[in-house]
A and B are shown apart, each in its own frame.
Chain A
Amino acid sequence: MRRLGLLCVLVVLGAACRQDMHDQPRYKALAKSDFYPDDRSARPLVAGTVARGWLRDDDALYKGRNGQELVTTFPFPITSEVMARGQQRFQIYCTPCHGRLGNGEGMVVQRGFKKPTSFHIDRLRDAPPGYFFDVMTNGFGAMSDYASQVPVEDRWAIVAYVKALQLSQHASVDDVPETKRASLDAHESPSEQDHE
């Protein structure tokens, strides 16, 4: 009986030691810091420095511009993988406001946010890819920028998808190849398909 009692005491004492190794003196991601005056353990970049691998001297890729002019082509080839990625990213970051069709009827708009212009007007159909990239990178009026949420390559993929969306919403049956027309009736609506 005395042994059992001793064991119980040991177990209780053992349990009491747990916390030391549970909360070690290091930071987990985004944890509060007692050391820095702004309480953040995630440190901002020191002013005037560039992190290794983050030099962004390719204006066409990172700004969507050649000098002052908005680029009219894509900085890398658009494959079907890029297009599928673009659709997925568009549906994550843009549909809340612009809607799945890009007509500006998103859920957040229905709850009172300013209604964006539909993508399916002549001005935006004629706008170069660089324009869409620029809006996402720097924001536009009531829309904040998406530079911190959407990485550069994904932004270009979204541009490609928006361009495709514009075509698809401005097409007639004649644009569909003869052989594929039968499948139009088979599906409810092509835009409902998920490529994820």
Chain B
Amino acid sequence: MSQIFHHSTNTLSRFSIFGGAFLAAGGLWLMLEITRSPYVTNAGVAKEQPVPFSHAHHVADVGIDCRYCHTSVEKSATAGIPPTRTCMNCHTQIWAQSPMLEPVRESLRTDKSIEWVKVNDLPDFVYFNHSAHVNKGVGCTTCHGRVDKMPLMWQEKSLQMEWCLDCHRAPEKYVRPKGEVFNVAWEAPKNQLEEGRKLVKEYKIRTRTSCSTCHR
């Protein structure tokens, strides 16, 4: 009886078992990389808005504090988007004729809200709370990046569960003194871990990793 398979199939089959394992691992790695990439998370993609509102101009050049516009960030779950009236505190006189601001003036005239496009959007099954973070020394820029350098807003971080947990497991890597929370130019000191541990103790921060913290 003649051989069905040639000799070379021996090596070939050994090789393909080995190769298959690599192929599977490689495929898995690729999938994980894709789920973490901006293609899926939208991180770093600037969003078009009905009015080209620039944080770079208002925060960095004019020096307006976040809380002037995001008034509820210290006391509630949401930071809040300013109503049209807040813009008109200044824009009754500044750039008052500019076509760029026509949607704002129209909104005031017609009492229709400006429809801002949501940039950071967690899935609805996740509970998030701004006040819980801001009042414990987690700064805006830790999660939102240097908004004072954004002509249009984009999402800075992946907002994935592993990102939240990275900090919840070891908050000392990121916490800063409460007075610096709104300071966009704050940079972590060289001995952040040491300083961070002190602050974690002082602010009585616990490591919150149980599922019901965020899924409730």
Chain A interface residues toward B at CB < 8 A:
4, 21-24, 26, 28-30, 32, 38-40, 91-93, 96, 107-108, 111-114, 142, 144, 148-149, 194, 196
Residues of A within 8 A of B83 (CB): 148
Interfacial residues of chain B within 99-114, with CB under 8 A of chain A in the complex? 111-113
Q: List 22 A-B contacts (CB under 8 A).
A: A22-B125, A23-B124, A28-B78, A29-B77, A29-B78, A30-B80, A38-B112, A39-B112, A39-B113, A91-B65, A92-B65, A93-B68, A96-B62, A96-B68, A96-B90, A108-B94, A111-B62, A113-B94, A142-B93, A149-B71, A149-B86, A194-B179
Is the contact region of chain A dominated by helix, strand, or loop, or is it mixed? Answer: loop
Least CB distance from B35 to A in Å reads 9
Whether the Cβ atoms of B94 and A40 lie closer than 8 Å is no
CA distance A167 to B71 in the complex (A): 29
Residues of A within 8 A of B81 (CB): 30
CA distance A60 to B133 in the complex (A): 35
Least CB distance from A107 to B in Å reads 5
Binary A-proximity of B114-125 (CB < 8 A = 1, otherwise 0) = 010000000111
Residues of A within 8 A of B93 (CB): 112-114, 142
Binary A-proximity of B41-68 (CB < 8 A = 1, otherwise 0) = 0000000000000000000001111011
